[in-house]
Amino acid sequence: MSLARRSLLAGGAAGVGLAVAGSVPSLAEAGPRSAAGTPRQRPFPPLVDDPDGILALPPGFSYEIVTYAGRTDLDDGQGKTPSNHDGTAVFDAPGGRFRLIQNHELGAGSKLGVPHVEGTVYDPTALMAGGCTVIQTDRRGRNLGETVGISGTSTNCAGGPTPWGTWLTCEETETKAGGAWSGNGQTGTYSKDHGYVFEVFADGRAIPEPIKAFGRYAHEALAVDPTRTQVYLSEDASNPNGLFYRWTAPKGTRLGPGIARQLGPEDGTLEAMAIHMDDGSVLPDVAYITSAQLGRPFKVTWVKVNDRDGQSASVRKQFTDEITRGKKFEGVFGTDEGVYVVNSFAFNTNDLPADAVKHDGMVWFYSYRDKTITLVTYFPHQTSTDTGAAPRYDGVVFDGPDNVTVTPWGTLVLAEDGVGASHVLSSVPGGPTYAIARNQLNIGTPENPEFSEFTGPTFSSDGKVLFVNIQTPGITLAITGPWSSFLG
């Protein structure tokens, strides 16, 4: 073990769900700030149970069900709303409406998969698989219709909005053509490779073609930088742990609508992140970083990917010790100054290098200007016997942050995908974490309750509606209330 790495571990894991005030980058161009320069956040009051058993919210807040898998209808007789809602973005639409573009994280043969609609299909043999739907709502989030945006894709997990108003959906799989699938009484094989990023439009256009330049691997989420020349992408994978990537456009290229037709499969440069220690060595895994290093920037360099299509070997397996790995690189969200990326957890033996530290979640900020990455929020691993000062609600430890978004006021909203209760969390790097919603829909049994993760939190541009999903069975919710009283 290097001296630099040993000094990191010596810091221990004191403090829980913390961040250092004054060390946090600006999160938004506008919005009230404290004297330290971080966005203000007032404590949310205790959540009130929902008599309908779906969503507990603070007093003064309410929700509307936008879509419900298997219950609400797609337009034009296309079937029912697909299940397994995941990454979502909301865009302003004509007539004072909103348009949501939403992932459905499903493999082929699903009971409530995305139906194939002419002009939207990527892989014609991936029947009732993943894809995206486009949902129109009014300004309060009430459903005005839902259509298919892309189909025949697989395991559409998260993604990211583009500056020009489209959605980039990510396939979290490495399945190749010829791979078998079965489910819901059907069997088949995929006719095309999967593990790509696709662009999805909200205006009825469809280009069901992969953006091969961004690579083929277990994509999770991404963010396009303000110059439209770089894209930052996360990978949720194990054995070995996944990577955080940067794609840089060829000289003179600026991304815009129709990326799949703008770029060739080898255009631009795809690279993996390497975090450097004080002695210049590369940190092998982010799990060596603990709360003792909150607010401390680390230098980052980028290492070129040789076979971005992962045909000879999975992209992450093409590296040894020249890059930095992380268990469950998940949510990504970009600002004008940099990009947030989340590691959900790492606490199983096979998740970690032997001398690393267990954790229940990390939020990082990569600075475009400084080319550094900083840990801004940290959740140490808690066991059933721990009595430490972890962020808690009704005795429940917050853990497993996944999707992340930045609100119009500059605060963060995190969707939990942890153990036990599932929450939507409001967090300020440099400040506390609060629960702003709790899933009450028990999909387990009374004896062994189970509560699905939240996914896809996204605020409307006017800050009045927070859209968020309960992944299973698949419910989109529009939450309204006095957001600015707590976040503004």
Sketch out the chain's domains with CATH numbers. Answer: 3-262+270-487 (2.120.10.30)
Residue 98: helix, strand or coil by DSSP? strand
Arithmetic mean of pLDDT, 414-435: 87
Q: What is the radius of gyration, based on Cα positions, of the chain?
A: 21
Under the banding of pLDDT at 50, 70 and 90, the label for residue 21 is very low
Best-predicted range by mean pLDDT among 190-204, 353-367, 421-435?
190-204
SS3 label, residue 234? strand
pLDDT tens, 153-168?
999 999 999 999 999 9
Q: How many CA atoms lie within 13 A of 254 on its CB side?
A: 5
Rounded Cα distance, 248 and 231, in Å: 7
Instruction: Write the secondary structure of 333-400 as one string of H (helix), E (strand) and C (coil).
Output: EECCCEEEEEECCECCHHHCCCCCCCEEEEEEEEECCCCEEEEEEEEECCCCCCCCCCCEECCEECCC
pTM score: 0.92
Residues sharing a CB contact under 8 Å with residue 175, sequence separation 6 or more, in sequence order? 154, 190, 193, 194, 195
The 8-class DSSP code of residue 81 comes to: P
Nearest to 287 by CA among 341, 361, 218, 340: 361
Burial class (CB in 10 A: 0-12, 13-18, 19+), 151: buried
Residue 264 burial (CB < 10 Å; 0-12/13-18/19+)?
A: exposed
Phi, psi of 252 (to 5 degrees): 90, -5
- Whether 429 has a pLDDT exceeding 70, the answer reads yes
* Segment 189-215 mean pLDDT: 96
pLDDT of residue 23: 36
Which pLDDT value is given to residue 387? 41
Predicted confidence at residue 32, as pLDDT, reads: 34
Contacts of 29 (CB under 8 A, 6+ apart): 336
Q: What is the DSSP secondary-structure string of 166-219?
A: -EEEEEB--PPTT-EEEETTEEEE-SS----EEEE-SSS-B-----GGG-SSBE
Q: Are 341 and 232 contacting, i.e. CB atoms less than 8 angstroms apart? A: yes
Mean pLDDT lowest among 3-12, 142-151, 363-372, 479-488: 3-12
Contact yes or no for 245/235 (Cβ under 8 A)? yes
How far is the C-alpha of 142 from the C-alpha of 448, rounded, in Å? 34
Residue 26: per-residue pLDDT: 41
Structure tokens at 418: 């942890």
* 370 band by pLDDT with thresholds 50, 70 and 90: very high
Q: How confident is the model at residue 5 (pLDDT cuts 50, 70, 90)?
A: low
* SS3 state at 134: strand
State mean pLDDT over 19-23. 36
**Coil, strand or helix: which one is 131?**
strand
pLDDT of 383 above 70: no
CA–CA dist 110, 84 (Å, integer):
10
Spatial distance between the Cα atoms of 216 and 155, rounded to a whole number of angstroms: 13
Across 17-31, 278-292, 348-362, which has the greatest mean pLDDT? Answer: 278-292
**Is 348 a residue whose pLDDT tops 90?**
no
What is the predicted pLDDT for the residue at 18? 45
Mean pLDDT over all residues of the chain?
A: 89
pLDDT at 487 over 60: yes
In the chain, what is the straight-line distance between the N-terminal and C-terminal CA atoms, in Å? 46
